[in-house]
Structure 1
Amino acid sequence: MEHATQVELGRTLFTYIDRGEQARSATPFANPVRDYICRDQAARERDVLFHDHPLLLGMTGDLPNPGDFFTNDFTGRPILVVRGKDGTVNAFLNVCRHRGAKLATADLAQGCAQTGGSFTCPYHGWAYGLDGRLLGVREADAFGEVDRSTHGLRRLAVVERNGFIWVRPGSEEPFDPDVLLGTLAPEMAAYGFERYSHYETRTLRRAMNWKLVIGTFLEGYHIKVLHRNTISSLLLGAQTSFDPYGRHVRMAVPRAGFETLRETPEHERDVLKHTAVVYELFPNTVLVWQGDHMETWRVFPGNTPDESVMHASLYIPEPAATDKAKRHWDRNMKLLLDTVEKEDFPLGEDMQRGFHSGAQDHLLFGRNEPALAHFHRSVHEALGLQEA
């Protein structure tokens, strides 16, 4: 985030603190329960949001070296992302062109894998380069003629920019991440995430709709109640800001020490150090700036509307080279997971079951929950659904 933007955000948060207020929308928003349980809508979400729409599948720190790769099956398509010998990131369908076998497996939860110079199919041994070219057919004379120029891996559109690795799961149709982010692009670039290192990723599966997972991060209304014994003392959850950027969202929550900034001239203030900044990068990524590091939640639909799967990742400003540093980041990862695993997600799974009870036909998002309403309006708009 640029310093001028930090100063502006700091002014907004101080205004809310002084007035005992937070960002508010004009009216409450009624969101239909069908958003979380309708199979037809879930199918359309897969087609529009997880097939056609570019997604943030990784960070530069996930692939530090040529030959590093990871795979992702959560979009409904098997995807292989690899850094080529020239340093360029490539993305392909993770499918051998001979008989359709999966070439490689490397979930980010185990860290990136290293392939060296090629991928070899585990079924019949066909080999592919890091650029997707078919390099060799085992026992080529016996197999017969193969046009290698037309039997390389199916390429997907991928762009690495400002530390983000974006992939369009459904095609090679080009896209521009700066156009996707719109006016938020300069703010994302200013963080310098391309210099950050991947510390740890966990793969989590939960019995709740993917949008319910996203919603966990988009309001501070629940912090003083649900998190009263954990993170409540660390955050001033009632004084949250809200800024929409097209379909994306920025929500900032001042930390307990935020008031100390009053003693510092504006041009010297490090607002980010004293603020938790939550971005929802449409459609399925939550990025949380935590003062000195960054966490991401990349959330995908499961096999039914009642299921989701996600990558929860921690990225740090420099590699953890000492035991002391590792203990520090382990504590951060534990806090990141404990809060949602022990408090948010069990309640979310109860909510998901309740959606099938017939107790309500809509959820009501209050004026003090504007980011939630904006997210669901954006989903409805992208899907071409009538406004709730």
Structure 2
Amino acid sequence: MHRDTQVALARRLFALIDARRTDMSETCVRHPVSVYTCATILQQERDRLFSDRPLIITASSRIREPGDYLTDDRCGVPILLVRNRNGELNAFANTCRHRGARLANGCGSGVSSFVCPYHGWGYNLDGKLRVLSPRDAFPGLDCDHVDLVRLPVAERHGLVWVLPRPGGKIDEDTLLPGLDSELASYDLTRFAHFETRAIQKRINWKLGIDTFLESWHIDKLHRESINPIFMPGIGLVDTFGDNMRIVFPRRSIVELRDQPEDTWDLLRHTLVIYVLFPNTLLNWQGRHFEMWRMFPANGDDPGQSVAEASLYPPASLHNEQMKSYWTRNLDLLTGVVEGEDFKLAEDIQRGFDARTQQYITFGRNEPGLIRYHERLRQALASC
């Protein structure tokens, strides 16, 4: 984050701390419970948010070198990402053109081709068929005309988007309006992937995101875990097109008051959350970043979701000596979110499913929630 931005945000935070308040919306909002329970809405979301829009799949550093690959199925489309020999990133449907078998699983490095485990058809890293087996069984078919199904892919500021629909196009200028320079300043390519954990819960996918969008619950729900670290009930919310930046201060931020402004390091004393629409959170935590991706886990049940948490420390600190340190960080992160936030969210989901009330209420002190769900409604209504 640029120095002038850090200073401006710190000034705003100190004003809120002194006033004992947070950024506020103009009014409170009645929010329909049906957005968490309605199967029709879930289908609209799957069609319009998880199929027709580019989705963040990973950080570039996770597939850094030629021959690195990664597979992803969270949006319902089997995706194969691979970096070719020229360092370019390709995205394909992870299905063989012969009988549709899956070509790869998980992630890996150093590959030069993908060979179908079913009948041995082979493809290079640009998706070109190179082995047609048995060749004499397919008259009129040759390797030059049977490529893997290509998916649009974009790589920007250390993040990778894929449009899970062939034939479309990603307009990179619309991905990070107003945040391009800011995210570029983090130089995310300097960070190395440590570990990714998946958390499947009996909650709607949006409830998973909701838990990150306000801090009024910290001194209650997280009294014994992270409350000693963060100032509850204080936060900044700024919107950038579809996306948001939310800043929550750590208690240590008061140390900056005695320092010259031109030395302020806001990033050491805050949690900065970039809400990258529709389903990704990029969280800056002092000297590392985390990526959360939320997805529906079942096409028919709005009350099932999977959250994927990835930790990216600086590459210089990603080694065997630091392994236990970063494991403890990830344990704390997933322990708080799964054991406290998502555990409570499961109770909320059960209440919603009981259909005892039609609405919940977002207060003026919860502008992140109001803005995020407003943007969701606009996205569904505009298609």
What TM-score results when the alignment is normalised by the length of structure 2?
0.96
Q: Does residue 274 in structure 1 map to residue 269 in structure 2?
A: yes
The answer for the alignment partner of 2:133 in structure 1 is 138
1:340 corresponds, among 332, 337, 340, to 337
Residue 31 of structure 1 deviates from its aligned partner by 1.1
Percentage identity across aligned positions? 45
The 3-state SS of whatever aligns with 1:379 is helix
Q: Does residue 113 in structure 1 map to residue 108 in structure 2?
A: yes
CA deviations over 1:287-330 (Å, ceiling 9, x no partner) = 11101100010111111211111220001112445444112111
Structure 1 distance, partners of 2:371, 2:159, is 23
Q: Which moved more, 1:254-263 or 1:316-325?
A: 316-325
Structure 2 distance, partners of 1:295, 1:329, is 12
The answer for the alignment partner of 1:109 in structure 2 is none
Q: Does residue 168 in structure 1 map to residue 163 in structure 2?
A: yes
The answer for the alignment partner of 2:27 in structure 1 is 27
The answer for the alignment partner of 1:283 in structure 2 is 278
2:244 corresponds, among 245, 249, 270, to 249
Alignment of 1:197-236 (within 5 A): 197-236=192-231
Structure 1 distance, partners of 2:108, 2:308, is 16
1:181 corresponds, among 176, 179, 197, to 176
The 3-state SS of whatever aligns with 2:200 is strand
Alignment of 1:68-83 (within 5 A): 68-83=68-83
The answer for the alignment partner of 2:366 in structure 1 is 369
1:190 corresponds, among 173, 176, 185, to 185
CA deviations over 1:325-344 (Å, ceiling 9, x no partner) = 11211111111111012101
2:293 corresponds, among 298, 303, 324, to 298
The answer for the alignment partner of 1:315 in structure 2 is 312
The answer for the alignment partner of 2:257 in structure 1 is 262
Letter in 2 for 1:8: A
Task: Say whether the 8 Å CA contact 1:166–1:177 is kept in structure 2.
Answer: no
The answer for the alignment partner of 1:46 in structure 2 is 46
1:331 corresponds, among 324, 328, 332, to 328
Structure 1 distance, partners of 2:363, 2:251, is 24
Q: Does residue 13 in structure 1 map to residue 10 in structure 2?
A: no
Poorly superposed stretches of 4+, deviation over 6 Å: none
Letter in 2 for 1:347: L
Residue 375 of structure 1 deviates from its aligned partner by 0.6
The 3-state SS of whatever aligns with 1:95 is coil
Structure 2 distance, partners of 1:152, 1:64, is 24
Letter in 2 for 1:135: R
Letter in 1 for 2:185: A
Stretches of structure 2 that go unaligned for 5 or more consecutive residues are none
Residue 139 of structure 1 deviates from its aligned partner by 2.3
Residue 250 of structure 1 deviates from its aligned partner by 0.9
The answer for the alignment partner of 2:91 in structure 1 is 91
Q: Does residue 126 in structure 1 map to residue 121 in structure 2?
A: yes
Task: Say whether the 8 Å CA contact 1:210–1:299 is kept in structure 2.
Answer: yes
Q: Does residue 384 in structure 1 map to residue 381 in structure 2?
A: yes
Count of residue pairs brought into register by the alignment: 381
Structure 1 distance, partners of 2:194, 2:171, is 28
Structure 2 distance, partners of 1:339, 1:186, is 32
Residue 161 of structure 1 deviates from its aligned partner by 1.3
CA deviations over 1:170-213 (Å, ceiling 9, x no partner) = 13422233322111221111111122111110112111111000
CA deviations over 1:142-166 (Å, ceiling 9, x no partner) = 4434232331100000011110001
Structure 1 distance, partners of 2:167, 2:251, is 46
Task: Say whether the 8 Å CA contact 1:247–1:374 is kept in structure 2.
Answer: no
Stretches of structure 1 that go unaligned for 5 or more consecutive residues are 107-111
